[in-house]
């Protein structure tokens, strides 16, 4: 099929039932579509079906019209359905504090064309990375956060994200906890990087906790943020070995590379529409 034909990517999840794969394939075939990639998984314990399918189609219908039609089809077979149009670039806001390694890594990957998105805004509770953001040509907004001003600060952040029409927030070592009110009001995905192999060493200073416990592995975890600190659905994790010879500073240094790689992988999978969230877990079609 012509590579210039419109393409769609659908993520489906719901109660397993006989013939789901055939129903999806038949719907695509009957509308002059051609499946490019398809993958599925069944949770044996819960009896839940998950599928990612990418296809192109011919005809005079727009991608938006075809996406809406497939969502209706998904509803008709009892599936929770999300449809994405490749080539559509979501707008991203980076939330940062003082640490710069994840910030620079994400921006440089974006500048290199690795991420199909637009990094449209940087929000920080410090001004440390202001000059860096401006050098990259990304709008920077300083929103100080204190215990007393947290509610007002989050209202300001939400207002900024609405004005920039943001689709996704990435917490690139943003050292503040987003409130339940913020997350509920925002209502869109937030990806966070935590510098430990969750569920171990949640919260503050995980490298210090790991050093005190004498562990032989440290890790990094990228997850979707929820109201419960460091307990959201895990997208990707990575680890590296350490020994008794390593100081806390050694752990921090080794951890920075893990954090960058782990967060970048999670962002890439999200932008490629490879992640389904279910029961505070993820199914990642990698």
Query: Which residues are paired to 14 by β-bridges?
Result: 49
Best CA proximity match to 221, nearest among 249, 201, 244, 248: 201
Question: Tokens at residue 267, please?
Answer: 């962002």
Would residue 118 show up in a list of annotated catalytic residues for this protein? no
DSSP state string for 78-120: T-EEEEE-TT---EEEEEE-S--HHHHHHHHHHHTT-SSSEEE
How many residues in total does the chain contain? Answer: 286
Q: Element (H or E) spanning 236, and its range? A: strand 234-241
CA–CA distance, 85 with 78 (Å, rounded to integer): 22
Q: What share of the chain is helix, strand, coil (3-state, %, to 5)?
A: 35, 30, 35
Looking at 230, 250, 257, 286, which residue is catalytic?
230
Catalytic positions: 230
């Amino acid at each position: 099929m012509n590579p210039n034909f419109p393409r769609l990517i659908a993520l489906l999840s719901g109660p397993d039932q006989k013939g789901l794969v055939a129903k999806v394939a038949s719907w695509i075939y009957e509308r002059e579509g051609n499946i490019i990639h398809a993958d599925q998984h069944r949770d044996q314990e819960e009896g839940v079906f998950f599928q990612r399918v990418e296809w192109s189609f011919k005809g005079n219908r727009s991608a938006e019209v075809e996406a809406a039609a497939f969502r209706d089809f998904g509803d008709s077979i009892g599936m929770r359905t999300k449809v994405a149009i490749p080539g559509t670039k979501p707008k991203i806001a980076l939330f940062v504090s003082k640490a710069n390694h994840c910030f620079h890594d994400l921006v440089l990957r974006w500048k290199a064309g690795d991420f199909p998105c637009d990094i449209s805004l940087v929000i920080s509770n410090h001004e440390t990375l202001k000059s860096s953001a401006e050098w990259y040509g990304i709008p920077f907004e300083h929103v100080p956060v204190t215990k007393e001003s947290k509610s007002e600060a989050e209202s300001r952040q939400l207002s900024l994200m609405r004005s920039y029409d943001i689709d996704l927030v990435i917490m690139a070592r943003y050292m503040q906890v987003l409130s339940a009110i913020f997350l509920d009001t925002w209502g869109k995905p937030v990806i966070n990087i935590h510098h430990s192999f969750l569920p171990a060493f949640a919260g503050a200073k995980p490298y210090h906790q790991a050093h005190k416990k004498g562990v032989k592995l440290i890790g990094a975890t990228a997850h979707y943020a929820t109201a419960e600190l460091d307990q959201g659905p895990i997208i990707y994790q990575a680890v590296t070995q350490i020994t008794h010879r390593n100081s806390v500073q050694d752990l921090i240094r080794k951890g920075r590379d893990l954090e960058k790689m782990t967060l970048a992988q999670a962002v890439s999978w999200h932008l490629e529409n490879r992640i389904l969230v279910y029961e505070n877990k993820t199914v990642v079609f990698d």
